Amino acid sequence: MLIKNCRIVYEDKCEKGAVSLNSSKIEAVNPEDYIDDEVIDAEGLYLAPGFIDIHIHGAGGYDTMDGNYEALNNISKTIVNSGTTSYLPTTMTCDMEDIKKAISAIAEAVNRGTEGANVLGAHLEGPFISLFAIGAQNPKFIKWPSIETFVEIVQDKISYIKAVTLAPEIEGAKELIKFLCKNNIVVSAGHTKATYKETIEGIEWGISHATHLFNAMTGFQHREPGVVGAIFDTDITTEAICDGIHIAYPSIRVALKQKTTDNMILITDAMSACGMAEGTYSLGGQAVFVKEGAARLENGALAGSILTLDKAIKNVLDNTKYELYEIVKMATSNAARHCGVEYRKGKIKEGYDADLVLFDENIDIKLVIVNGKIVVNNLE
């Protein structure tokens, strides 16, 4: 397959060119000679690496905590329509048996493959979080951080765990953080009431990321900088839900000035209502009410989002002065690095996986290719 006349989105520029694919890989960028029966003329369109969502609970009426392959396959088929070609299904603070089932389903999806976006592994959001920064998590199922409890949850599936969100101030966190780092698992500070000092200690122990910046964490105060201050004062990466609901756009602009686009990842934190009509849904066993673009629990707390990554990119493009390639990087190569697949995903480069998305200036998705195969075709 040859995609020609497209504006290729690199990490540092957008430049007109062509890309050839051979089976599931990118064969060449700007090939000199190429003959193929399948040629796509992408005049006026952008070709970017497929988007990677490192924090998403569900979509299309399905939830990671459904705990079965069918749910993950349907999530994959839903989110691929918005340009997401890989993701980390994200668990909730739930009963340990339910988390075990979810992890087993994720392992199956990794090994079996899906009909849409690739499943790269699991992100465990909890259960080692703070009761005082609970967000939409269920306080009944919070656990004290411990290596023993973590091993009991993941059992023989530890290699499928890519990231764990926890609160570093809770007793036992230090030992668990160090254990996770030894097993090449990204440790993220989130759902936490840690002070600045406690967060810095967690970073010294191995925390390298922070979950949904500004949300469910101690904010920045001039005498107590909190978790936000520690994120801004160090080189750890962080992530943001850019739906205009979870974070005001001026705060996004401030955060990007502090962290730069190299250390920010765009996420959706989407739940089962993503891609669905307004109504009542479930997140980790709790009722969620979706109205006017927001997903909330009965008490009014935000419960994930119904955001998609194409919309997140468009929102940042419309509300900042960053170039398109800088914004796309936050949903592609940065996310690939977080998942440990930066050697094969997240860039348009020879030998990389042929996960690609074609879109116009409004970030309207025209074509999505996963593993070298067209799975979404909106070209006229």
The CATH number of whichever domain residue 371 belongs to comes to 2.30.40.10
101 and 35 share one domain: no
* 127 in a structural domain: yes
User: By percentage, how much of the chain surpasses pLDDT 90?
Assistant: 93
| Tally of structural domains, the chain | 2
Angle in degrees, CA 21, 26, 27, rounded to 5: 70
Count how many residues are written for the chain.
Answer: 380
Within 8 A by CB and 6+ apart from 360, the residues are 44, 45, 46, 366
Mean pLDDT score across all residues of the chain: 96
- Please check whether residues 122 and 32 belong to one and the same domain: no
- 43 plus 72 within the same structural domain: no
| Residue 352 domain-assigned (yes or no) | no
pLDDT of residue 286: 83
304 and 230 in a common domain? yes
pLDDT value, residue 31 = 92
Same domain, 259 and 372: no
CA distances to 78, 146, 349 from 270, in Å = 12, 28, 29
Residue 140, in any domain of the structure: yes
Find the domain containing 128 and state its range: 51-344
Task: Using the predicted structure, report yes or no on whether residue 33 has a pLDDT greater than 90.
Answer: no
Give me the CATH number covering residue 282. 3.20.20.140
Range with lowest mean pLDDT among 83-87, 195-199, 280-284: 280-284
Contacts of residue 121, Cβ cutoff 8 Å, sequence gap at least 6:
88, 106, 110, 160, 161, 162, 339
- Asked whether residue 380 carries a pLDDT value surpassing 80, the answer given is no
Q: Give residue-wise pLDDT tens across range 182-202.
A: 999 999 999 999 999 999 999
pLDDT at 143 over 90: yes
Same domain, 366 and 303: no
In a domain, 282, yes or no: yes
Q: Is 269 labeled as catalytic in the residue annotation?
A: yes
Answer whether residue 353 is part of any domain.
no
**Inside any domain, residue 302:** yes
Residues 173, 192 share a domain? yes
Whether residue 285 is found in the same domain as residue 181: yes
In this structure, the answer to whether residues 33 and 144 fall within a common structural domain is no
Report yes or no on 350 lying in a domain.
Answer: no
> What is d(CA 76, CA 118) in angstroms, rounded to the nearest whole number?
7
Statement to judge: residues 30 and 113 lie in one domain: no
Kindly report, residue by residue over 319-348, the tens digit of the pLDDT: 999 999 999 999 999 999 999 999 999 999
> Is residue 351, in this structure, part of any structural domain at all?
no
Q: Are 163 and 179 in a shared domain?
A: yes
Annotated catalytic residue, options 53, 63, 243, 269? 269
Confidence of residue 235 (pLDDT cuts 50, 70, 90): very high
How many degrees, rounded to 5, is the angle at CA 249 between CA 117 and CA 127? Answer: 55
Same domain, 34 and 85: no
Confidence bin at 124 (pLDDT 50/70/90): very high
